[in-house]
Every structure is written in C-alpha cells, then in structure tokens.
Amino acid sequence: MSKDMQAVFAGFGGQGTLFSGKVVAYAGLIEGREVSWFPSYGPEMRGGTANCSVTVSDGLIGSPLVTEPDAVIAMNQPSYDKFVDLVKPGGVIVADTSMVAELGQHPDVRVIGIPATQIAEEAGLKGLANIVLLGRLFAEEPFCALETVDAALQKCIPPKKAAMLDKNRVAFKLGTEA
C-alpha cells in the first residue's frame, strides 16, 4: 500500500508541471485512493509561473491546498525558492539543476538535484524534463505501484499525442535511474 502524499509541482508555464501533477493524481484514482489536484497559474500561462498541489490519501482530504508538502518538484529557481522552506521535515524536494543553480542546505529535508532538462534533451526527449523529475520523485517516494504510473500516463496523454507515451515512459525511467 502506498503512503499518503501531499506534493507541489512548480515551474514556468509550458514546462509540464501541471501535467506531472495530473499523472500523480490519476495514479491515485487508479488505485482507488482519495485525490485532490489543484492547479495555480501566474498572470500568463506559458512563461508565467504555474504550480499545482496534489494530495493522494487513503482518508478524506479536508482541503485542496498543500501548505506543508511532503514533496516538491521544482523546475526553476523561483519555484525552488518559493517552496523549499515549506517542505515538511523528512520530506523531499527534487529540483532540475539545469534550471536551479542554487540548492542550498536545508536540514531535515532531502534535496535531490538532477539535470533533468539536460537528461531529457540528451536522450532526444526535449520537453520531458517534468517526467524525468517525476521518475526521480518516484524513486525517492514511491507514491503508487510502478505499473500504476504507466496506466496514469496512458490516461493523461491524449489520443492525438499517443506517440508521446513511449517517450514519457523512457523519460520516467531515466528519472528513476538519475
């Protein structure tokens, strides 16, 4: 059984932060758990800030807001700076060091930095740094069964982009191994 998780996925609009949060939410739904997915956009979507709060729980969820996340995926420096100090003690933040230059020291929080954008681009998977980071988060905090992640990807990728499924699978695997 997976443990409860409250997470924040944050970055610039267009980086796929809302999509990766949606994958986690669908994974929870597929496993029959209670789920909340709450997107938040800056003044403009592409290039502005975008984040989403995701809660996956075996119990009732009182609020969609995540004020003390167990986990954060930060795809850029402003997102890292905004959310790192909110992570609960014992929690984890996974940051794209291709975009986050300063990780700093944070007692009681595991800070995992991987060059997700670089990893994705070198593998011919431009635009999938979000899924590389999701794979790294899964390796740190398995939020569902591995086969559930694949089922969630299948559910979240629209039929017109079905060719992206295998690329997302590769990006996720690269993240788990990073």
SS3 labels along 36-89:
EEEEEECCCCCCCEEEEEEEEECCCCCCCCCCCCCEEEECCHHHHHHHHHHCCC
The string of pLDDT tens digits covering residues 81-90 is 999 999 999 9
pLDDT one-digit tens code per residue, 49-89 = 789 999 999 999 989 889 999 999 999 999 999 999 999 99
* Domain-wise residue ranges, the chain: 5-177
pLDDT score recorded for residue 1: 47
CATH superfamily of 5-177: Pyruvate-ferredoxin oxidoreductase, PFOR, domain III (3.40.920.10)
Q: What is the pLDDT of residue 43?
A: 61
